[in-house]
Amino acid sequence: MVIVMKKNATESQIDHVIKWVESIGYGVHPSYSVERTIIGVVGNDRGKAQLKNAGYLPGVERIMPILKPYKLASREAKEGNTIVRVGDVEIGGSEFIVMAGPCSIESEEQLMESAYIAKKGGAHILRGVAFKPRTSPYCLQGLEEEGLKLLGKGREKTGMPVVTEVMNTTDVDVVEEYADILQIGARNIQNFALLKKVGHARKPVLLKRGMMTTIEELLMSAEYILSCGNNKVILCERGIRTFETAMRNTLDLGAVPVLKELTHLPITVDPSHAAGHWKYVIPLARGAVAVGADGLLIEVHPEPEKALCDGLQSLKPEKFYQLMEEMRAFGTTMRGETGVLQ
């Protein structure tokens, strides 16, 4: 941390700050200059909330942290990339991964049909939500455990691993029984009790960035899970909230290269929720693979116009097959032997 003194800070104020910093166990490295005296704090400033109180001392203009607040999630903590294995599927490896399925699990027929479409298109993982976060208490709330059982059937029949959301600490055990990957939704990105709970689970966690979450906060939420012992964390960019309302959210595709630089964890993109409308899903999916994402979450529904939830953002089967076709072409451009990422 660096403490910047005010221009007119007195010598005794500077001395007081130095003594205060030393008194809580840090070294100091002051640098006197005409414009400003700045005091470098030597020592690990992570997790030391108390150090921020320096801002309270007379003569202090502001304090500037130097270290990133996360450790385990950072590239400094690990060489190479984390590859999360789920059955035969590797997320974060050389293959581009698609997780597809309906938004909500509505019925056995709807889920099984969606599963076969996903499989036929070439998706690697089946997604579907049984515990459904809804902004309105008057909307469908999800089939809960019954939905999990259907998802289990989808896995059994298609051979694809399944991912589903968990919303409450008390549901983690039952979800873990049925699911291969536990999804933490955007609205629970800073539900720290839930993060700790899945941090103690055995299954991988798909962690969706919140609409209001900075990249640093996303990595801090991943850090929660990692610090509890679960190192199988998959990140997911799904759109942030900005002033622009042409799509439901603004997909921050730039977050992908930033995350690739900062962390060893795999990064996926969910264009369906960001767009809020099927017509933008395919171009955004193309963009996601181009900026270097490791995979996609795609909503597909046998009959979107009859969907009980978020039908508008779900692809029809034929559009989904077109998307999967394109992903393979892009895959060659990006990840193939002569791909730009080689």
How many residues contact its own copies, by CB under 8 A?
109
Answer yes or no whether residue 290 interacts with its own copies by CB under 8 A.
Answer: yes
* Token couple for 309: 């939830």
Nearer to its own copies, 4 or 83 (CB): 4
In contact, 296 and 327? CB cutoff 8 Å:
yes
Query: Which listed residue (9, 304, 319, 324) binds its own copies by CB under 8 A?
Result: 304
Say which residues have a Cβ less than 8 Å from residue 156's Cβ, sequence separation at least 6. Answer: none
Q: Which of 295, 307, 320, 335 binds its own copies (CB under 8 A)?
A: 307
Q: Comparing C-alpha atoms, which of 146, 150, 96, 109 is closest to residue 127?
A: 150
Structure tokens at 269: 């993109």
Kindly state the smallest distance separating residue 218's Cβ from its own copies, in Å.
Answer: 10
- Binders in 110-139 for its own copies, by CB under 8 A: 133-139
Radius of gyration of the chain (CA): 23
Q: Using DSSP, state whether 205 is helix, strand or coil.
A: strand
The answer to whether 201 contacts its own copies (rule: CB under 8 A) is no
Nearer to its own copies, 53 or 107 (CB): 53
Burial class (CB in 10 A: 0-12, 13-18, 19+), 51: buried
Task: Verify binding: residue 214, its own copies, rule CB under 8 A.
Answer: yes
Residue 337 in contact with residue 160, Cβ under 8 Å? no
Interacting residues with its own copies between 309 and 338 (CB under 8 A): 309-312, 326, 329-330, 332-333
Closer to its own copies at the Cβ: 162 or 211?
Answer: 211
Q: Is 342 in the site for its own copies (CB under 8 A)?
A: no
In the complex, least distance from residue 159 CB atom to its own copies, rounded to whole angstroms: 29
Instruction: Label residue 242 exposed, middle or buried (CB < 10 Å: 0-12, 13-18, 19+).
Output: exposed
Among 12, 15, 29, 109, binds its own copies (CB under 8 A): 29
* Residue matched to tokens 């603004």: 250
Residue closer to its own copies (CB basis): 40 or 152: 40
- For the bound state, the minimum distance from the C-beta of residue 147 to its own copies, rounded and expressed in Å, comes to 16
CB-wise, 39 or 160, nearer to its own copies? 39
Residue 4 and residue 38 in contact, taking contact as beta carbons nearer than 8 Å: yes
> Which CB, 155 or 165, lies closer to its own copies?
165
Q: Does 224 bind its own copies (CB under 8 A)?
A: yes
Closer CB to its own copies, residue 177 or residue 192?
192
Residue 229 within binding range of its own copies, rule CB under 8 A: no
Q: How far is the CB of 54 from its own copies (least distance, A)?
A: 8
- Show contacts with its own copies in window 146-175 (CB under 8 A): 167-171
| Partners of 206 in the β-ladder | 183, 234
Piece of 82-90, 111-119, 149-157, 209-217 that binds its own copies (CB under 8 A): 209-217
Residue 78 touches its own copies, criterion: CB under 8 A:
no
Spatial separation of the C-alpha atoms in residues 302 and 113, rounded to whole Å: 7
Residue 78 vs 286, nearer CB to its own copies: 286
Q: How far is CA 52 from CA 21, 70, 250, in A?
A: 10, 17, 33
The residue within the footprint of its own copies, chosen from 84, 99, 179, 284 (CB under 8 A), is 284
Please, what is the minimum distance in Å from the beta carbon of residue 168 to its own copies?
4
Residue burial 162-177, b: 16+ Cβ < 10 Å; e: rest: bbbbbbeeebbeebbe
Q: Which residues pair with residue 207 across a beta bridge? A: 184, 235
Of the candidate residues 25, 55, 159, 229, the single one contacting its own copies (CB under 8 A): 55
- Residue 339: which region, alpha, beta or left (left: phi > 0; alpha: psi -120 to 50)? beta
Which among 105, 135, 164 is positioned nearest to 307, based on CA atoms? 105
